[in-house]
Amino acid sequence: MRTASLDTAAIDRANSAFWDELCGTAFARSLGVTDDSAASLARYDRWYFDFYPYLDRHIRFAELAGKRVLEVGLGYGSVSQRLAESGAVYSGLDVAAGPVAMARHRLALCGRSGDVRQGSILRAPFDDAGFDAVIAIGCYHHTGDIARALRETHRLLVPGGRAVVMVYNAFSYRRWLRAPAATLRHALRPAAAGPAPERERARYDTNSAGEPAPVTEFVSIAELRRLARPFAEFACVRENAAVPLGPRGWWLATLGRIAGLDLYASLRK
């Protein structure tokens, strides 16, 4: 992976502007959710946790009760609220103002306290070793420097602390089908693989104007293992499939596990 030369301060600024519109806004609208009342957010969250049923296997909400948990990359705040409601001592970090405001709003709605800050995981505004767990779903592949995001995650954790990190799979079925040349190049020369071009980024995350996220990278399990070298333990599985035919649960249990769109890494410091 070749990301070290990117101007990460400029990427943070671009991400801060792009992600101010909450990711998930299009899905929310398709559900008729256009306001931030408790009932509307609950409708969105039901959809979110039904759509990603494997999240409960990766984020052990009940086990995080009483633990100091930092969530990085907050989006619509479904995971934020669930962590807080599960009894975690909640902190949140997002580079954009919109998700920070949404997470604070959700904490107020459910009567929980928490420390939600605007900032980048590439220079996280928290002290060393202040967290028992870090949860980062769908964030680090947008930062322009996954290695640095993982080093910061390591710094923030107490010894023995755990992180759950979801990033996009370089060798998913979708990449082999839709971007075979880039995927083959990535397989042959992983060190030369840079951020995805606009056409490919647009298949993953877009805002309501149809613009793609400023930066999207794809990683293999082997690369992620190498980037996560500071951690004492590393385990990783594939998840997620978006096939517009037949029952989603079947695709998740088959294609998703073999060549899924996302990698879920479980790390221990």
**What are the residues binding ligand SAM (CB under 6 A)?**
12, 15, 19, 23-24, 72-76, 79, 93-96, 99, 120-122, 137-139, 142-143, 205
Q: In the bound complex, what is the minimum distance in angstroms from residue 199's beta carbon to ligand SAM? A: 18
Q: In the bound complex, what is the minimum distance in angstroms from residue 73's beta carbon to ligand SAM? A: 3
Q: In the bound complex, what is the minimum distance in angstroms from residue 118's beta carbon to ligand SAM? A: 9
Which pair of tokens denotes residue 139?
A: 């964030």
Which CB, 122 or 267, lies closer to ligand SAM? 122
Which CB, 153 or 245, lies closer to ligand SAM? 153
Which CB, 15 or 86, lies closer to ligand SAM? 15
Q: In the bound complex, what is the minimum distance in angstroms from residue 196's beta carbon to ligand SAM? A: 14
Which residues, other chains included, contact 75 with Cβ-Cβ below 8 Å and sequence gap of 6+? 19, 22, 23, 24, 94, 99, 138
- Residues 202 and 196: their CA atoms lie apart, in Å, by 10
Which residues, other chains included, contact 227 with Cβ-Cβ below 8 Å and sequence gap of 6+? 1, 146, 147, 150, 219
Which residue is at the shortest CB distance from ligand SAM? 75
- Residues 242 and 252: their CA atoms lie apart, in Å, by 8
Q: In the bound complex, what is the minimum distance in angstroms from residue 128's beta carbon to ligand SAM? A: 18
Which CB, 120 or 169, lies closer to ligand SAM? 120
Neighbours of 117 (CB within 10 A): 14
Q: In the bound complex, what is the minimum distance in angstroms from residue 87's beta carbon to ligand SAM? A: 20
Which CB, 68 or 142, lies closer to ligand SAM? 142
Cα distances from 197 to residues 1, 90, 203, in angstroms, run: 15, 35, 11
Q: What does the CA dihedral 26, 257, 259, 200 come to, rounded to 10 degrees?
A: 10
- Residues 187 and 178: their CA atoms lie apart, in Å, by 15
**Nearest C-alpha neighbor of 102 from the set 51, 165, 45, 166:** 45
Which CB, 127 or 189, lies closer to ligand SAM? 127
DSSP 29-44: HHTT--S--HHHHHHH
Which pair of tokens denotes residue 147?
A: 């290695």
Q: In the bound complex, what is the minimum distance in angstroms from residue 263's beta carbon to ligand SAM? A: 14
Greatest distance between any 2 Cα atoms in the chain: 52
Which CB, 29 or 185, lies closer to ligand SAM? 29
